[in-house]
């Protein structure tokens, strides 16, 4: 692995990388790496902050860990966003975002809560009685969003959303006969929550989930290059991980979400509400034994002494993420294509480096 400056060495966000590498249902093996010259393409900014650490990181790529990288940094003190690339990827590339899709889905659900179409602590099963087993009758909307529902893990079958949910319950009943769910007790990051959330949107509105996503988020924010992937091996992940997007679109979404343009204050607070429960032992998404996902689907973690919020996802051979430091008003979007021979440890370290460089070491320009 290419040596990095001390400021970029591994710190304390293993959970970010773990989630990025494991969260996407539609994940595919990394593409075979192609030898490329070590160059960085950047659309620069000339404000009072300079993403020097991101520049340095990209200048060392591609290498034996990362075949291609696209990183965008934006926020306070930057006159314009910085977008840098390395390897065979364009600054305006459209890529599968994997489980970052979940944040879009949760925002739609929270808008329905704001409209009093459904309650945040309302039971889910009455809306989907033929799909959700009676044992999950106490499961609430909030528990879907903050991953404390105790739903079974999703099966990886390229079927329609209802069929995925039904197959997941059937598989769990066979594997754990007599299991008694305990919603609200423990947080276990679980993609089936988003499948159910998407179906809940359809039941409450009477319209397809993709229609509501387009009407409520994509069109109002002019996210013209964000949509369900045209690749059926990715699109089947639907409300859980089926979207493709660009760095610019994802940054516009994250900014609007954090600025309160998508949710009123009563629902905006859910973005930062993490349940006071433990994280399941097998849950590799949180860095400690405590829960880290909020009722808005964002991860809240400590990164080099800074609290950051965001989401990761893997799909189609790309590892992507959106993160923000609300304290420093900085945002980053990234997508990385791992080298085919890179180890999981190397890939985790690379994701850590990118997020850390973007959000904790973006320093002032000389003379300011």
At 196-217, the pLDDT tens digits run: 999 999 999 999 999 999 999 9
pLDDT band, very low/low/confident/very high, at 228 (cuts 50, 70, 90): very high
pTM: 0.87
265-271 mean pLDDT: 97
Classify residue 71 by burial, with Cβ atoms within 10 Å: 0-12, 13-18, 19+.
Answer: buried
Digit-coded pLDDT (tens) for 66-115: 999 999 999 988 889 999 999 999 999 999 999 999 999 999 999 999 99
Domain membership flag for residue 165 = yes
Whole-number pLDDT of residue 363: 62
Q: Which residue has the higher pLDDT, 6 or 25?
A: 25
Segment 174-197 shows an average pLDDT of 95
At 233-253, the pLDDT tens digits run 999 999 999 999 999 999 999
Given a contact cutoff of 8 angstroms between Cβ atoms, the answer to whether 357 and 18 are in contact is no
How far CA 353 is from CA of 64, 72, 131, 223, 295, in Å, comes to 15, 14, 42, 28, 27
Q: Does residue 234 lie in a domain region? A: no
Q: What is the pLDDT of residue 156?
A: 85
Q: Measured between alpha carbons, how far is 57 from 2 in angstroms, rounded to an integer? A: 10
Whether residue 262 is found in the same domain as residue 318: yes
> Tokens 């293993």 appear where?
14
Choice between 275 and 178, residue whose per-residue pLDDT is larger: 275
Give the CATH number, domain containing residue 143: 3.40.710.10
Q: Residue 1 class from Cβ within 10 Å (0-12 exposed, 13-18 middle, 19+ buried)?
A: middle
Nearest in space to 2 (alpha carbons), one of 87, 63, 71: 63
Mean pLDDT across the chain, nearest whole number? 86
In a domain, 109, yes or no: yes
Query: Percent of the chain beyond pLDDT 70?
Result: 85
Q: For residue 241, give the H/E element and its range.
A: helix 238-241
31 near 67, Cβ under 8 Å?
Answer: yes
Domain membership of residue 240 (yes or no) is no
Q: Does residue 126 have a pLDDT over 70?
A: yes
The two beta strands, 40-43 and 82-86, are: antiparallel
Considering the domain architecture, whether residues 204 and 273 belong to the same structural domain is answered as: no
Per-residue confidence (pLDDT) for residue 315, from 0 to 100: 95
Q: Looking at residue 49, what is its pLDDT?
A: 80
Backbone angles phi, psi at 213, to 5 degrees: -60, -45
Average pLDDT over residues 267-288: 91
- pLDDT of amino acid 328: 81
Q: Are residues 86 and 106 in the same domain?
A: no
Q: Please tell me the total count of domains within the chain.
A: 2
Name which of 329, 308, 314, 331 is nearest 13 in CA terms. 308
- Residues 117 and 187 grouped into a single domain: yes
Write out pLDDT tens, residues 133-163: 999 999 999 999 999 999 999 998 878 999 9
Examine the domain organization and report whether 263 and 299 are in the same domain: yes
SS3 198: helix
Q: Looking at the structure, tell me whether residues 122 and 216 fall in a common domain.
A: yes
Task: State yes or no: pLDDT of 25 exceeds 70.
Answer: no
Same domain assignment for residues 90 and 117: no
User: Residue 27: what pLDDT?
Assistant: 42
Give the model's pLDDT for residue 11: 37
- The reply to whether 243 falls in a domain is no
Q: Is the dihedral of CA 14, 15, 20, 23 positive or negative?
A: positive
Residues 71 and 106 in one domain: no
Residue 354 CA to residue 356 CA, distance in Å, equals 5
Instruction: Give me Rg for the CA atoms of the chain.
Output: 20
Confidence of residue 354 (pLDDT cuts 50, 70, 90): very high
Residue 307: beta bridge partners?
A: 302
Q: How far apart are CA 274 and CA 30, in angstroms?
A: 32
Q: Is the domain of 29 the same as that of 77?
A: yes
Do 189 and 285 belong together in one domain? Answer: no
Give the helix ranges, DSSP H, for 65-122.
101-114
pLDDT category of residue 41 using cuts at 50, 70 and 90: very low
Boundaries of domain holding 21 = 6-98+251-363
Domain check: are 64 and 134 in the same one?
Answer: no
> Model confidence over 42-70: pLDDT tens digits?
444 445 688 999 999 999 999 999 999 99
Say if residue 290 is in the same domain as residue 175.
no
């Amino acid at each position: 692995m290419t040596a990095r400056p001390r400021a970029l060495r591994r710190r304390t966000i293993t959970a970010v990388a773990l989630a990025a590498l494991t969260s996407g249902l539609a994940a595919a093996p990394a593409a075979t790496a192609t030898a490329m010259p070590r160059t960085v393409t950047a659309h620069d900014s000339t404000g009072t902050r300079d993403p020097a650490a991101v520049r340095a990181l990209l200048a060392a790529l591609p290498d034996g860990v990362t075949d291609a990288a696209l990183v965008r940094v934006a926020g306070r003190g930057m006159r314009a966003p910085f977008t840098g690339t390395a390897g065979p990827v364009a600054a305006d590339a459209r890529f599968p975002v994997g489980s970052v899709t979940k944040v879009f889905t949760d925002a739609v659900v929270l808008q329905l809560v704001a409209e009093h179409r459904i309650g945040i602590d309302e039971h889910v099963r009455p809306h989907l009685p033929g799909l959700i087993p009676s044992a999950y009758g106490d499961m609430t909307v909030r528990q879907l969003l903050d991953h404390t529902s105790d739903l079974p893990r999703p099966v990886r079958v390229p079927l329609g959303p209802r069929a995925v949910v039904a197959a997941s319950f059937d598989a769990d009943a066979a594997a754990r006969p007599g299991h008694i769910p305990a919603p609200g007790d423990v947080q276990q990051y679980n993609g089936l929550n988003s499948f159910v959330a998407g179906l809940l949107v359809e039941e409450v509105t009477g319209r397809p989930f993709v229609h509501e996503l387009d009407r409520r988020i994509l069109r109002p924010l002019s996210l013209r290059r964000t949509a369900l992937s045209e690749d059926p091996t990715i699109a089947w992940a639907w409300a859980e991980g089926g979207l493709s997007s660009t760095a610019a679109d994802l940054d516009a979404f994250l900014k609007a979400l954090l600025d309160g343009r998508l949710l009123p204050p009563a629902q905006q607070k859910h973005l930062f509400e993490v349940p006071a429960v433990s994280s399941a032992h097998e849950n590799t998404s949180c860095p400690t034994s405590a829960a880290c996902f909020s009722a808005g689907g964002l991860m809240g973690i400590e990164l080099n002494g800074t609290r950051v919020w965001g989401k990761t996802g893997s799909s189609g051979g790309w590892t992507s993420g959106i993160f923000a430091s609300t304290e420093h008003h900085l945002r980053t979007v990234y997508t990385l294509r791992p080298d085919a021979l890179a180890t999981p440890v190397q890939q985790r370290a690379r994701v850590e480096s990118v997020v850390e460089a973007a959000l904790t070491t973006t320093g002032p320009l000389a003379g300011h």
